[in-house]
Amino acid sequence: MLATVWRIAEMNALLSVDHARVNVKECVLYTTLEPCALCVGAIRMLGMKDMRYAARDPAAGGLGLLDATDFMRRGGVHAEHLGCLELEAALIAMHTSALLSIHPGNPAIEPWAAAGLAGVELGRKLSASGELRRMADGSGASIAQAIDALTRLNGQVEEEQAPSLPASGAATPSPMVLLLIGAPASGKSTLGRRLATALGMPYLSKDLFKETLFDTLGWDDRGWSQQLGSASMALLFRSAAALLKAGQPVTLDSTFYPQLHEPQLRALGERYSCQFVQIVCTAPGPTLVERFERRALSGERHPGHADAASLDEFRSRLLTERWDALDLGGSVLTVDTSSGELDIEGLASSIRQLSKATR
């Protein structure tokens, strides 16, 4: 019904279910693109528990909302990326090509390009070549011919984008990605900065990007802070990719959320065959709350974060949620940041050992 106005496939699927006979709470919803805000709302309101999506949507994807309010979190909706990067790239290519067919240079593809997702370049090529359009316009091309055209164009893109290979005989470099994992105020930044210095590694932090954006664009309320937060994550991943492409290791500091960031990290891992080392920072819930409140109210934190406006929400999240290692493979070290002075040298040498062992 609504499809006449909006293209909302998930809503249409949910509307077409005979709810008298099918219990959607026991169903798994599969979608191509990450669902939009409207569909995420519908999924939650229907009490669905499980969904899989093939491609992220940095422009209109609404999965972040699952975590946005108490009500949404209570739904416990599990959303999982299918993890097939080829499929994701093909879907993004088709989406990019469709956007460009609406008008050339469509600014709607900017968020896709900025997120560094594979498939955008292929989409541009597809659109420029006009091959899909010609096939659709009536030559009666088969699916096999369409797949063939896609594969050929994709080969060209990969050749252009492939990182230069090491000289033959040289060991394949597998740069280390050191990830600081943990709740807000768990001590990630303090530890991350000191470890990166001790290891002689570049240190990238979402908050540093975000504060730079606040200083150049200004700050306002929590909504603006969240918008710049997404931009900062995109910058973090872009910068990390640039370093890894050059064979450099990198330290990444952010509050990572599994459903949002695991797919992006896995994609980096595959593309640059890097090795992950995760440092999980822990502290008891009440300590986290105390630090978060002090930080929010003391003025030691950039005012743009608007932490004071979210004290109540974070108080309950810090006490109840788990902030575990991500499912990425590689090594995991856990550091309790509440118990006295940290042994930076000891940790750094453990990390060096791990890095050698997995090389």
Q: What does the binding site for Zn ion look like in residue numbers (CB under 5 A)?
A: 8, 35-36, 39
Q: How large is the angle between the packed helices 143-161 and 120-129, nearest 10 degrees?
A: 120
Q: What is the DSSP string of 43-80?
A: HHHTT--EEEEEE--TTTB-GGGGGTSHHHHHT--EEE
Kindly give, in sequence order, each residue whose CB lies less than 8 Å from that of residue 156, ignoring residues fewer than 6 positions away: 125
Smaller CB separation from Zn ion, 3 or 311? 3
Smaller CB separation from Zn ion, 4 or 139? 4
Residue 98 CB, nearest distance to Zn ion (Å)?
A: 16
Smaller CB separation from Zn ion, 8 or 149? 8
Q: Alpha-carbon distance 192 to 334, whole Å?
A: 13
Residue 43 CB, nearest distance to Zn ion (Å)?
A: 9
Residue 53 CB, nearest distance to Zn ion (Å)?
A: 11
Smaller CB separation from Zn ion, 58 or 187? 58
* Largest CA-CA distance found in the chain, in angstroms, rounded: 73
Six token digits for residue 98: 């469709």
Residue 40 CB, nearest distance to Zn ion (Å)?
A: 8
Smaller CB separation from Zn ion, 35 or 330? 35
Smaller CB separation from Zn ion, 35 or 184? 35
Residue 38 CB, nearest distance to Zn ion (Å)?
A: 5
Q: Alpha-carbon distance 197 to 182, whole Å?
A: 20
Smaller CB separation from Zn ion, 9 or 333? 9
CB of 93 closer than 8 Å to CB of 120: yes
CB of 110 closer than 8 Å to CB of 140: no
Q: Alpha-carbon distance 229 to 223, whole Å?
A: 10
How long is the chain? 359
| Beta-sheet strands, E only, within the chain | 28-33, 50-55, 78-81, 176-181, 203-205, 250-253, 275-282, 331-336
Residue 195 CB, nearest distance to Zn ion (Å)?
A: 41
The conformation of residue 164, written as its DSSP 8-state character, comes to P
Kindly give, in sequence order, each residue whose CB lies less than 8 Å from that of residue 296, ignoring residues fewer than 6 positions away: 305, 307, 308, 311
Q: Alpha-carbon distance 326 to 332, whole Å?
A: 9
Residue 60 CB, nearest distance to Zn ion (Å)?
A: 8
Other C-beta atoms lying within 10 Å of the C-beta of residue 269: 18
Residue 8 CB, nearest distance to Zn ion (Å)?
A: 4
Q: How many Cα atoms occupy the beta-carbon half-sphere of 71 within 13 Å? A: 6
Smaller CB separation from Zn ion, 39 or 281? 39
Smaller CB separation from Zn ion, 16 or 172? 16
Residue 63 CB, nearest distance to Zn ion (Å)?
A: 11
Residue 34 CB, nearest distance to Zn ion (Å)?
A: 9
Smaller CB separation from Zn ion, 42 or 288? 42
Q: Alpha-carbon distance 186 to 333, whole Å?
A: 14
